[in-house]
Amino acid sequence: MRVTVTPEAVEAVAHLLLQEGAGGVVEEGPAVRTAYLADVGDVEARIDRIRRSVAALDRFGLDPGPAKVEWRRIAEESWAHAWKEHFHTLRIGERIVIRPSWRSYTPGPGEVVIDLDPGMAFGTGSHPTTALCLQALEKLVRPEDVVYDIGTGSGILAIAAALLGAGRVEACDIDPVAVRVAAGNVENNRVSDRVRVVQGDWRVLPAGEADLVVANIVASVIIEMAQEVPRLVKPGGHFVASGIIVERLDEVKDALASSGVLAVQAQVDGEWAALIGRVGEKRL
């Protein structure tokens, strides 16, 4: 199945597809998600339900645009592995390399290599929102920092933070599938001693302990949690927000500023933006 919506609605669409039992979700472009669903039960009813759910996203402040839902049947042995063909070894920033677990790669001097199997979760590094977060982590993580990763997905940002030198990483996601996938990737990258993955949103994380919080989610959720950011982050610490459609960047800035998190830097990649803020500091 292929679903085309506006860039701001794609992550919500991916969650809808997982709720319908998708066996994998692929980022084919900034506004396209492809999912693989088992051919069981009343397929026509499931497709209709997905169409109606996508069309109703505007009720949650997400504009799906002229959404298109397309589908076709393929052989079982094909869908189980076809999505992996889209993922290749990827270099991000100066040192970070994302290596899909089924591909080989010889690290270069000083490279930080993340072995990743996204499974049915999100976050391969190929999407601009994830790449912007990885670049921010590369600049901001200091030795022994405490880092929180909100909406961890595949665990890619939590793992990156640990490999970049963080002393402790707390990762959370509301999706139990993501929690399971992220925990597996944490173990595969041998950072289980520093990274903990739990189910829930930002409310499950310890208060006042983070030097850095990264949240690669969507603008509406970042705005919702803005008042809670100073509770999580130490004074002078950083908050990295991504998954923001460019048109909503000012809304996110204003929501964070009202809670004492002032914008230090904004990075834009196409239609997506990431914002780096500092808690309890004057604007730079």
CATH number of the domain within which 116 lies: 3.40.50.150
**Residue 160: inside a domain, yes or no?**
yes
152 contact partners, CB below 8 Å, separation of at least 6: 123, 158, 171, 172, 173, 178, 179, 182, 197
Single-letter code of the amino acid located at 246: V
Q: Domain boundary at 85, 115, 148, which? A: 85
| Domain total of the chain | 2
Give yes or no for a contact between 153 and 119, defined as CB atoms under 8 angstroms apart: no
Angle at 8 between CA 5 and CA 10, to 5 degrees: 50
In a domain, 158, yes or no: yes
Domain extent, residue 35, equals 2-85
For the record, the structure tokens of 213 come out as 């919080």
Q: Which amino acid is at 102?
A: W
Same domain, 195 and 62: no
- Is the same domain home to 72 and 101? no
In a domain, 154, yes or no: yes
Tens digit of pLDDT per residue, the chain (284 long)? 889 999 888 878 877 886 676 655 677 777 888 877 766 677 888 888 899 999 988 887 888 898 999 988 776 555 556 666 767 888 999 999 999 888 888 888 989 999 987 665 456 667 788 899 999 999 999 999 999 999 998 899 999 999 999 999 999 998 887 898 899 999 999 999 999 999 999 999 999 999 999 999 888 889 999 999 999 999 999 999 998 888 889 999 999 999 999 999 999 988 889 999 999 854 43
Beta pairing partners, 168: 146
Residue 98 CA to residue 77 CA, distance in Å, equals 26
Which of 85, 100, 116 is the endpoint of a domain? 85
Q: Are residues 124 and 73 in the same domain?
A: no
* Phi and psi angles of residue 254, each rounded to the nearest 5 degrees, phi first: -65, -40
Q: What is the pTM of this model?
A: 0.76
The answer to whether residue 218 sits within a structural domain is yes
| Pair (66, 191) in one structural domain | no
Q: Is residue 41 part of a domain?
A: yes
What is the DSSP pairing of strand 25-29 with strand 32-35? antiparallel
Domain end, chosen from 85, 116, 151, is at 85
Does residue 156 share a domain with residue 181? Answer: yes
Same domain, 73 and 184: no
Residues 6+ apart with CB under 8 A from 177: 18, 119, 120, 121
- 41 and 101 housed in the same domain: no
Q: Is the dihedral of CA 77, 5, 123, 40 positive or negative?
A: negative
Could you tell me if 163 and 222 lie in one domain?
Answer: yes
Claim to verify: residue 35 and residue 45 sit in the same structural domain: yes
129 and 69 part of one domain: no
Domain-located, residue 284: no
Residues 182, 62 within the same domain: no
Same domain membership, residue 96 and residue 226: yes
